[in-house]
Structure 1
Amino acid sequence: MVFKLKPEFRPQNVSHVAVPALDALLHRLGATQVQQKFPHTLLPNHEKPGTVDLTLVYQVWFEKDALVEKAQAALLRTGMLEYAEPLYYRAPLYQPNDPLADSTAAAGQYHLKAIRAYQAWDVTQGDTTVLIGVTDTGFRLSHQDLAGQWQRNYQDPPDGIDNDNDGYIDNYRGWDFADNDNNPAANGMVQPLHGVHTSGAAAGRADNGVGIAGVGFKCRFLPLKIYPGTATGRFAGYEAIVYAADHGCKVINMSWGGAGGRSQYEQDAISYAALTRDVVLVAAAGNTNAELDFYPASYDHVLSVGWCGATDIRSTNATYSRRIDLIAPGESVYTTWGDTDSDYVRAGGSSFAAPLVAGAAALVRARFPQFSAEQVIAQLRATTDNVYQLPGNAAYVGKLGTGRLNVFRAVQANNQYAVRLTQRTLSPNKPIYQLGDTIRLTVRMQNLLQPIANLTVTVTSLSPYVTVQQGTFNITAMGTMAQVSNANAPFRLQVAAAAPINTSVTLRYRLTNPASGYQEDQYTTIRINPEYVVLNAGNLALTLTHRGSLGTDGLGSDKGEGIRYQGGTSLIYEGGLMLGTGTTTRVSSRLRNDRNGVDADFFSEAQTTMRRQTLLADQEVTGLLRDSLPTATRNRTVGARVRQRGYSWAQGPHRDYVTLEYDIKNVTADTLKPLYAGIFADWDVSDYNRNAVVWDSVRHLSYVYNVNTPSAGYVGIQWLRGGTPSSYAIDVNAPSTSSVALSNGFSRAEKLRTLSNGTRQRTAGLTSTNGTDVAQVVGANLPYLAPADSVTVTFAVVAAPTLTQLRAAADAAIARYTQAQLLPVRSATIAPTWQLYPNPTSGQVRVEIPTSFGGRQIEVLNSLGQMVKQQALAGATAVLELQGLPAGLYVVRIHGTTGDVSRRVLLTR
C-alpha cells in the first residue's frame, strides 16, 4: 500500500519515515519494508494551485497474510497522514484482431484520413524534441517503424553506473517499472505486444517508405513498461507517469485502466505530472459498453478518449460518460504488431483511440510551444468535429465529449474559446446528501484560450430529485488564463424529499456567449439519498445502514462514514446486528464469515430514514429490515423482521452516546427458543493491536481502549433493555484452536457462541501489557419468542475521551432510558399471563386477560408517556382500536384490582 505524510511530519532523513511514533506503528503492523516512493520529484509550486508534493509518498510492504484494511485504518488514525491506500492493478484495454492484415492495403490507415492527419502534417510534422511517454506492456524497439522513434538517454549509457544520478542505472532505453530493470522489451505475461501497438499508433515512423505512420510524425516516444514479465513483478503505471514527467515527456499515453476504485494517490501522481511538470496526460476511456467512471481516464487533468469507427458512430463496446473529453477512431486501427521487425495488425479498442490523440497532442505542443498542458487539452477539445447529429449517436449526447478528433483544426486554429470549470465547492461538504438538504455550490472558471466577454454560466439539474433555486453566474470579461468565481453568490440547490437510494444527480453547466457563438456544456455529479444515515447530533457520529450494519454496509464497503468521536477518524472496522436462535448455527448477520466472504442475511424492507419531526431526541431514525425464512436457507437464518431505531442528542450529558433500539418480530411458524440479539463490533482505537476489552457489570457496558495510549479515548456498547445482558470479548489474534478465532473468519457457530455465552468471556487484551486486536459482542438472551410476537432490545453505543466520562455517559443513557424519558413503561405490581395481539398491528389489537386480574380500564400511552386513548375493560377480552393514531411505539397499560400491567405495541401503516 501507499501512504502520504502530512507536510508538518516531513522527515529530516528521507531514506525512511523518521517519525518515531509512525515507525513504531509500522513495525507493530508487520511492515516488512518502507520506502520513499518518489524521492527525486519537484516540490510543489505554490504559484500553481493544485500542485502536489510526491516526496511525502511512501510505499509499504506487508506479509501476505496481513490485514491491509486494518493497517490502513490504524495508519489514518495517527493523524499524520493525508491518505493511506492499497495499490490498485489497472488492466490493459484490448485484445488484438487477426495479425494477417494486408500491410499494403490503401485503406490500411483509414483513421489518418478521418482525423485529417495528412492535412495537419502540412501545417506541422511535430518535432523530435516533443516526447510522448508510452506507458504500456512492453515494446519491440527494433521494429522498422519504431527503431528510429524511441528516445535514447545518452546521459546514462549501459555501463552499470547511474551516470545521470536519477536513481535508475542504465536507463538508456527507458525503463521496466514492473520488473525494475532497464529492459522495456515485450516479455510480459499480460498482452505482451500491447505496447508495440500503441507506440506505433502514436509515434510510428512516418516517411520511411515502409509500414505505417504514427500521428505524431517526427515526435518520439519514451518506452515505459508497466506490466511484469515475471511472477515477482507488479503493475507500476503511476510510477511510470512520474518518471515520464521527470524525464522530459510533454505527453503521456495511458491505454489501460479500470472502472471505479478512485485513488487519491493515483490522482496525486496525475496532478504532479500535469501541474508541476506541465504534461498532457491522455487516457483510454475503456471498452465497457456502459456509462461509468473509468480510471485513470476520469481523473482530473486527464484527457479522456472514447472510441468510434470509420463512420464516427460510437463503437458498440465503447464506454460513454460525461467525463469523456473527445472520441477518436478505435476500430481496425492499423499499427505495428511486434512478432517480427516488419509486421502490422488491425487492432481495436480505446487503447488505440488514445494514442492517436496523444500523437495529436504532441503535434499541438510542437505547433504552439507557448501553450500549457491545460491549453493543449482545451485546443483539442475545442477543435473536434460534431458527431451528435449522426442518428447512431443520438442516445449519447453529452457523453462522447465535444466530438471526434480533428488534428488539422487543432494545429491550424488559434482563435478558439475554451472556458473550463476547474473547481467546485459544495457546502455543506458531504460525500452524499440526505433528502431535503440544501446545498450551496461555488465554482471557479478559467479561460484557457482566447479572451472572452459577457459569458453566462447556467447550472441545471438533469434529475427531478434536485432542483436549482439560483443557477446563473454572469462573467463580464475574462482574459487568457484568467480565473473567476461565484463565491459571492453561490448557486443554490435543493434535494427533493423523496428519491431512490444512492441516486447520482448530474449537474450541467452551460456556458454561452451570444456575440461569438460560443456554447459549451460541462458536467459534474453529486450523490443523494445514501443507503445509510448518520446520527451526529452530539459528539458521537454513528453510521446506521439500511441493513443493520454499523459504520459501513459490511466489511470493505465504502457505503458509510464509520463511527467517529468529535470528528476524528473512524473507530470501527466492522460492526452490526446479529440474531441467533437454538443451539446449532441459526444466525443472521451482515458480518464476515469463515468462507472469505460476508454473510448478507439482512435486507432492507423499508429504508432507514431521518425523521423530520422528532419526539424523543434531537435526531431520530427508523427503518425496517429482515432476514430470509430458515426454510429458504437450510435452517441457517433466524426468520425475523426488525424495526431499527436510532436516537442522538446534542446536549450534555447525552451527547456522548447514541441509542439503538430493535423491535424483533418472529415471522416463522415456530417459537424461537431461545432468542439471542446482539451487536458485534470490531473496534480499532488508535493502534488496533494494542487494544483491550473490559466488562463493566454495574452498567452492563463492554468498552474498548488502547492500553498503551489511554488518551486515545474509550468506546463501547451498553445493554439497556431486553432479556438478560450478555457480553463476549474477542481476541482477534487468538490462535485458530481458540473457541472463537477471527483469524480464519467468523463462522455461524462462533457467532452463536458469542451471543449465547452470557458474560463468562468478559475481557480480552488484558493478559498482555501491550494489548491485542479486539472485538466484542454485547447482546441480550431471551427465553423464547412466539410466532408473530415481538420483543424490544435496546443498546447504547458510547464514546468518550476518558473512562470517567465514558461511565458518566453510560449512566446518562441508563437514566434517560429507564426514567421514562425515552420509552416510558410503568412496571406492573402483578404480572399475570395475558395476551395482546397482533403485535405489531396496523390498527386493531385484541386484549385477553385472566378474570382473576380484575381488569377495569385500558390506557394507551405514546412514547412521551402521554395518554392518547383509554377505554373500559368490562370482561376478560376487549378489542382496542388504534387506527386514528400516528404510526409508532405505544404502551398499553391495564389497571386492575390487584395492580397494573403494561406492554409495548408497535403501530404500523
Structure 2
Amino acid sequence: MRAFFGLVFVVVVGVAVAEPSWLYVRVYRHALPLVQSQTLWLGAGTTVERKLLAPEQTLHWQLLEGKTIRLTQSRRVAIENAEEPLLRTLVVRYDGELPPVKFCQFLMAHHPLVEYAEPVRRQRLLSTPNDPLFSEQAYLQAIEAPAAWDVTTGSSGVLVGISDSGVRITHEDLSAAVAINTGEVPGNGLDDDGNGYPDDYRGYNLSWRDDQTAADNVVHPTNGHGTSVAGIVAAVQNNGKGISGIAPGCRIVPIKATPNATDGYILFGYESLIYAAVRGCAVVNCSWGNEDQAPSPIEESIIAYAVARDVAIVASSGNGTSTQPMYPAAYPGVLGVGETEVDGRIVPGTGIGAHCKILAPGSGARTTGSASDADYTYFSGTSSAAPMVSGVVALVRSRYRQLTALQALEHVRLSARDVSSVNPEIAMLLPGMVNARRALERDPFSTPAIVPLRTELRRLDGAVVQRGAVGDTLQVFVHAVNRLGSGSQLRWTLQVIQSWGGETDAVSVLDATVTRPTVAAGEELMIGPFSLVITRAEPLLHFFRLSVSGRGSGGADYQDVALLPFYPTADWVTIEGDSLRLSVGDYGWIGRNAGSGQELKGEGLAVPQLGSLLYGGGVFAVHFPTEQVRSGIEGDALATDNDFVPLTIVHDTNWSQRVLGDTTNWRGTAIGITLDEQFGVLDRSTIHLRTKLTNSSHVSLQDIAVGYFFDFDLAPSGDSSTVSLLFQRSGACAEIMERTSRDPIAVALVRSNEQDAQLQCAGLDASYARVGNFIPERKMESLRRGTDLQFGSLGDKSIVVGARFAGPVAPAESRTMDIYVLVGRDRTELRQRAEALSAIEYRMPPEGISITPQPAAGDAVAAICPSAIVGTPTQWQLRTLDGRSIGEQTFATTPEQVVVPLSSVASGVYVLVVRSGGVLYRQRLVRLR
C-alpha cells in the first residue's frame, strides 16, 4: 500500500450485491507523513488501494527523472496547483458493514486527518475509403469527414482516451488503432515507464482488482458500449474491413472504468481522466454521466487537473428530456454533446440546455460491436454523438498542434454548422452540429472565442443580488474569457428565453446590446451592463441567450451564442456565509421544496464537509382558540392556495429578511398575523433566525404559537435517527437529532425573552410528521405539549421548535423569538455551543448599526452606533461573505460614529460585525470602486 498527500478510498458494502463500492477521501496536508509512511489507518476493514494521483505521475517527479517537458511558467504553475488536491486523495477498499455514505460521514466526523470524503458516483452509460460498411456511415457525410480527410486523417501521436466499459482490442477494425505504450513491457507486472500504472501496454483496466484480471485486460465480457464508442472515433481506414473512424490516423487508449460484475454503469470514470492525463491523451471521450447529482468538489478538481495537463474532455449531454445539468458535461472545461439525426434534426430526448454546447448525428450510427472480432452494430444516443466530436477534436489537435485543450474545444465548437432551420421550435436553445471540414479549414486564431464563465445581477445602486422581483430593473454582467484570437467590432445581444426555447413575457430587456471595440487573445473581460425589467412573476427556469458578432484580426466573421441559466423571479434564494448555505423560500419553506411539482428547489442546508443535511422544513403558526393553522412548509409561487404570502422577499446573501402575511383559503381563515423573519449565517455550522410575530388584525389575539419544522436527513437514506430534548432552561430549550456515533448531528434551539412565551421542542417521527404529510392537528399538538412530545425510537425523524405566546397580543403588538440551527460532529461541543447561544443576544438590522453612504464608493464609511453601545467596550470586524476577517478594531469606549476604512477593500458585499458584551450586531456593507 502506498499513499501520498491525500486519500481516496473505496468501500465494499455488506449488502446483497457482491460488488465493491468506492469512495474518494481527501486528507489534510499535515497527514502527509503518515500517508507517506503507509501508517495512516482509516478503520477496521479498510485498505488503501491506490492514490488518485501517484507522486511519480506528477510534473515535479517527471522533471526530477530528467524528462524534457517544455512548458511556460504559467502552465507549469497551473499543473502543479491542479495536482495538489489530487495528491491528497486516495482510493480505498472497505470491507466493513457500514454503507459508503455512512462511512464517509464517519471519517469526516471523527477522523482528525480526513478533510473530505464522498462515495464515487456511478455514471450511466449514455450510449470514400474501401471499408465495406462505409456507405452505411451516413454520419460521416453529415459532418463532412471525407473532406476533412483530404487535410488529415489524424496523427498517430494524438491519443484519444476511451473512458468507458472496455474495448475489444482484438477487433479486426480496432486492433491496429490501439496505441502501444512502448515504455511498458506487457505482462511483467511492473511499472516499466514509471507512470504509476503497471502493464498499461495497450490501455489500462482501472477495475482489474475487482475483475481479478490483468491490469491490461481492457475487454468487458458482456458490455460492448466502449467498443462501439471506439469504432466511431478511430476504426482503421482502408483495411477492406468494416467501417472507418472519424480520426483513423489517431490512436485510441482504452480505459476500462466498468468492473465486469457491473454491466450498466461507469464506476471509475473520473479516475480514468487522471490516467488519460498521465498517459498523455490529447482527447478523452466520456460517453457517460449523471444528472441526479450536485457538483462534486473532488470531481471538479479531477476535471481541473486533466485540463491543466492539456486533455480535451468531451462528454455526453445526456439522454433525458430536461435541461437539467448532466455531469461531467456541465463542469467547466468540458464540451457537452447532444444528439441529432444525420440531417441535423434534434433527437427527442437528448439533453439540451446550458451544458450542451455542440451536437452530432449520433442516431443509428454504424460502428464496431463486441460480439466477435468481426462484429458491427448500430449505436444511438448521446453516447454515439460524443465520440464523433471527440474524433473531430483529435483531427484538430493533429493539424493544429499549437492549440491547448480548451482552445481546441472552442475551435471545434465555433466550426459547427447551424441546424436551427431544421429545428424551428427549439432553435433558440440549440448549438451547432459538428463539422470536420470546417474545423480543419478554418484558422483557429482567425476569430476570438469569448466564453462566458458566470453571470452577475446588480441593482441600479450597484448591489449584487441573486434575483429580482416584479418591477425590478436589473443590470446583467457576464464574466468571460477569450480563448482564441483577437477581435474587433464586437457586439453582444442579450435575450431571455424559456427553458423550452420560446419567448417570455416575464422579462423586458431594456438595454439588449453591448459593444466593445477590441478584445485581445487570452483576455479576461466583463461584458455589460445589459439591463432588463422583470414584468411578471415567473419562478421557472429561463436562459439568458447571449449572442455575439464581430470581426477577427484578419477580418473574418465572428458569430457565437451561449446559454446561461436564469430564474426571472425565483421564489427562493440561497443565503451563504463562511461556506455554509441555506435555501429559503418566499412562501415559508426552508431547505428544499418540491412546490407545485415542477422541480425540487433549493440546496437544503449545505454544510462544508458534511453535505446537505436539511431535506425540507418551514414555518407554521397556530391560533389555539379558533384552531386555525397556517403553514408555509409547502408554499410555492405557482400555488393558488398558499397560507402565507410574502410581503418582503429574501434578497441578500449573508443576512436576509422575509416578511410573511397569512391569508384565507379553502383550508381555513387567516389568523391576522405577520411574521418578520431575519436569517443570518453566524459561522460555518450555525444559522440564526429571529422571528417577530405581529398582530396585524383589529382584535386582540390570545394563545398564538409559531413553530419551525426541520426534516433533517443526517444520511442520504434519512432513516435510523433519534431525537431527544438536549436541554431546557428558563428562556431556552434545544432539541437534538442524532443517528450513530459516526454521523453528523443537528440541534435546533429556541429562545425568547417574552414573559408569556412557553417554549416548545418536539422530536417527531415520519409516521407522525413529514414534508407533505404534517396535518394541522399534529402541527397544533407539536406546539402545545412543551417538551413532552418525543418519539424516541429509531426512524426517519424531524424536529419542531417554537414558542406559544399565551397573550393577549393586542393589535400591532409583537412577540419575538430566536431560532438557532447548529450542526457538527461532537455532541458535547454542540451542547456547549447551544448553551452559549441561549445566553447571548444577537442584534440584526434595523436594530443595530447603520452605515452611510451605502453603497460605499469612497475610502471610508461612517457607522452610526445605537445608543445601547455608545460609551461601552466593543470589538469591530469586517468580514467577507464567506466569513473571513479583513479588518478588526477594538474600542474601550465606543463613540457615536465609527469611521470604517475601505481604501484597501475591493468591490463586493461584506458584513460588519460588532460585539458588545453579550450582544452581537451585524450589518451589510456594499463596496463599489
So what's the TM-score if we normalise by structure 1? 0.66
Alpha-carbon separation, structure 2, partners of 1:34 and 1:741: 43
- Kindly provide the amino acid, as one letter, of the partner of residue 486 in structure 1: M
Aligned length: 732
Alpha-carbon separation, structure 2, partners of 1:536 and 1:318: 34
Aligned to 1:374: 406
Q: Is the 8 A contact 2:751 2:759 kept in 1?
A: no
Q: Is the counterpart of residue 267 in structure 1 residue 300 in structure 2?
A: yes
Alpha-carbon separation, structure 1, partners of 2:37 and 2:617: 35
- Kindly provide the amino acid, as one letter, of the partner of residue 412 in structure 1: E
How many angstroms does 1:581 deviate by? 13
Query: Please, which runs of 5 or more residues in structure 1 have no aligned partner?
Result: 95-101, 593-601, 630-637, 666-673, 766-772, 784-790, 817-909
Aligned to 2:145: 117
Aligned to 2:249: 218
Q: Is the counterpart of residue 527 in structure 1 residue 549 in structure 2?
A: no
Aligned to 1:407: 436
Q: 1:255 to 1:663 in 2, by over 3 A?
A: farther
Q: Is the counterpart of residue 247 in structure 1 residue 275 in structure 2?
A: no
Alpha-carbon separation, structure 1, partners of 2:386 and 2:316: 5
Q: Deviations over 1:222-267 (max 9, x none)?
A: 1112222126997111111111111111111111223352423333
Q: Is the 8 A contact 1:328 1:354 kept in 2?
A: yes
Q: 1:484 to 1:777 in 2, by over 3 A?
A: closer
User: Which of the residues 248, 256, 266 maps onto 2:288?
Assistant: 256
Structure 2 counterpart SS, 1:609: strand
- Kindly provide the amino acid, as one letter, of the partner of residue 565 in structure 2: T
- Kindly provide the amino acid, as one letter, of the partner of residue 499 in structure 1: A
Q: Deviations over 1:290-312 (max 9, x none)?
A: 44433222322222222222323
User: Which of the residues 531, 550, 553 maps onto 2:590?
Assistant: 550
Query: Structure 1 stretch 104-113 or stretch 41-50: which is displaced more?
Result: 41-50
How many angstroms does 1:642 deviate by? 10
Alpha-carbon separation, structure 1, partners of 2:107 and 2:713: 7
Listed as ranges, the matches of 1:294-693 within 5 Å are 294-389=326-421, 392-401=422-431, 403-414=432-443, 416-424=446-454, 426=456, 432-435=466-469, 441-462=476-497, 463-466=504-507, 472-479=513-520, 481-486=521-526, 490-491=528-529, 493=531, 496=534, 498-513=536-551, 516-532=556-572, 544-545=584-585, 548-553=588-593, 559-560=602-603, 562=605, 575-577=617-619, 605=642, 608-611=645-648, 619-622=657-660, 645-648=675-678, 657-659=689-691, 661=693, 678-681=707-710
Alpha-carbon separation, structure 2, partners of 1:430 and 1:702: 36
Aligned to 2:166: 138
Alpha-carbon separation, structure 2, partners of 1:175 and 1:67: 26
Alpha-carbon separation, structure 1, partners of 2:800 and 2:51: 40
Q: Is the counterpart of residue 151 in structure 1 residue 179 in structure 2?
A: yes
Query: Structure 1 stretch 77-86 or stretch 304-313: which is displaced more?
Result: 77-86
Alpha-carbon separation, structure 2, partners of 1:144 and 1:117: 22
How many angstroms does 1:123 deviate by? 1.5
Structure 1 counterpart SS, 2:166: coil
- Kindly provide the amino acid, as one letter, of the partner of residue 456 in structure 1: R
Alpha-carbon separation, structure 2, partners of 1:218 and 1:81: 46
Query: Structure 1 stretch 638-647 or stretch 124-133: which is displaced more?
Result: 638-647
Listed as ranges, the matches of 1:77-88 within 5 Å are 85-88=118-121
Structure 2 counterpart SS, 1:161: coil
Aligned to 1:668: none
Alpha-carbon separation, structure 2, partners of 1:802 and 1:309: 61
Alpha-carbon separation, structure 2, partners of 1:397 and 1:198: 28
Q: Is the 8 A contact 1:384 1:406 kept in 2?
A: yes
Q: 1:678 to 1:68 in 2, by over 3 A?
A: farther
Q: Deviations over 1:645-701 (max 9, x none)?
A: 23339999xx96511649999xxxxxxxx999743447899xx99999543342143
Q: Deviations over 1:520-565 (max 9, x none)?
A: 2223223343343678999999754356543443899661563999
How many angstroms does 1:6 deviate by? 9.4
Q: 1:807 to 1:289 in 2, by over 3 A?
A: closer
How many angstroms does 1:204 deviate by? 0.7
- Kindly provide the amino acid, as one letter, of the partner of residue 778 in structure 1: V
- Kindly provide the amino acid, as one letter, of the partner of residue 145 in structure 1: D
Alpha-carbon separation, structure 1, partners of 2:320 and 2:647: 37
Query: Please, which runs of 5 or more residues in structure 2 have no aligned partner?
Result: 1-21, 61-72, 498-503, 698-702, 807-812, 823-831, 848-929
Q: 1:343 to 1:603 in 2, by over 3 A?
A: same
Aligned to 1:904: none
Structure 2 counterpart SS, 1:172: coil
Q: Is the 8 A contact 1:548 1:625 kept in 2?
A: no
Q: 1:231 to 1:362 in 2, by over 3 A?
A: closer
Alpha-carbon separation, structure 1, partners of 2:786 and 2:24: 42
Aligned to 1:199: 230
Q: Is the 8 A contact 2:395 2:440 kept in 1?
A: yes
User: Which of the residues 122, 144, 164 maps onto 2:193?
Assistant: 164
User: Which of the residues 780, 789, 800 maps onto 1:777?
Assistant: 800
For the aligned residues, what is the CA RMSD?
A: 5.8
Q: 1:756 to 1:61 in 2, by over 3 A?
A: farther
Q: Deviations over 1:555-614 (max 9, x none)?
A: 99661563999xx998967644579999xxx9999999xxxxxxxxx9962675352899
Alpha-carbon separation, structure 1, partners of 2:411 and 2:607: 46
Q: 1:388 to 1:572 in 2, by over 3 A?
A: closer
Q: Is the 8 A contact 1:608 1:622 kept in 2?
A: yes
Aligned to 1:38: 53
Structure 2 counterpart SS, 1:702: strand
Q: Is the 8 A contact 2:27 2:89 kept in 1?
A: no
How many angstroms does 1:747 deviate by? 13
User: Which of the residues 135, 144, 155 maps onto 1:107?
Assistant: 135
Alpha-carbon separation, structure 2, partners of 1:73 and 1:421: 41
Q: Is the counterpart of residue 797 in structure 1 residue 804 in structure 2?
A: no
Structure 1 counterpart SS, 2:290: strand
- Kindly provide the amino acid, as one letter, of the partner of residue 198 in structure 1: V
Q: Is the 8 A contact 1:331 1:347 kept in 2?
A: yes
User: Which of the residues 722, 734, 737 maps onto 1:702?
Assistant: 734
Q: Is the 8 A contact 2:732 2:838 kept in 1?
A: no
Structure 2 counterpart SS, 1:345: strand
Structure 1 counterpart SS, 2:390: helix
- Kindly provide the amino acid, as one letter, of the partner of residue 457 in structure 1: W
Q: Deviations over 1:618-642 (max 9, x none)?
A: 944115589997xxxxxxxx99999
Structure 1 counterpart SS, 2:320: coil
Q: 1:268 to 1:662 in 2, by over 3 A?
A: farther
Structure 1 counterpart SS, 2:560: strand
Structure 2 counterpart SS, 1:229: coil
Structure with larger Rg? 1
Structure 1 counterpart SS, 2:231: helix
Alpha-carbon separation, structure 1, partners of 2:681 and 2:310: 52
Identity level (%): 24
Alpha-carbon separation, structure 2, partners of 1:108 and 1:474: 47
